[in-house]
Amino acid sequence: MNRIIVILTVILLQLACMQVASSAENNVMVAMHAYKVVTTAKGTKLVATDAAMPGDTIEYQVTYSNTGATPARDVLATLPVPKAGLAYVPDSAMPATVQASLDGVTYAPMPLVRTITRDGKPVTETVPVAEYRFLRWKLGEIKPGASSTVSSRMRLDSAPVTNVRS
Q: Which CATH class is domain 6-164?
A: mainly beta
Local confidence pLDDT in tens for the 166 residues of the chain: 332 233 333 434 444 444 454 444 568 899 999 999 999 999 999 999 888 888 999 999 999 999 999 999 999 999 998 877 789 999 999 999 999 999 999 999 999 999 999 999 999 999 999 999 999 999 999 999 999 999 999 998 865 555 544 3
Q: How far is CA 91 from the centre of its chain?
A: 12
Give the C-alpha separation, 53 to 158, whole Å: 8
DSSP state of 127: P
Domain ranges of the chain: 6-164
At 2, phi and psi to the nearest 5? Answer: -65, 125
Q: 1 vs 4, 19, 87, 105, CA distance in Å?
A: 9, 36, 20, 36
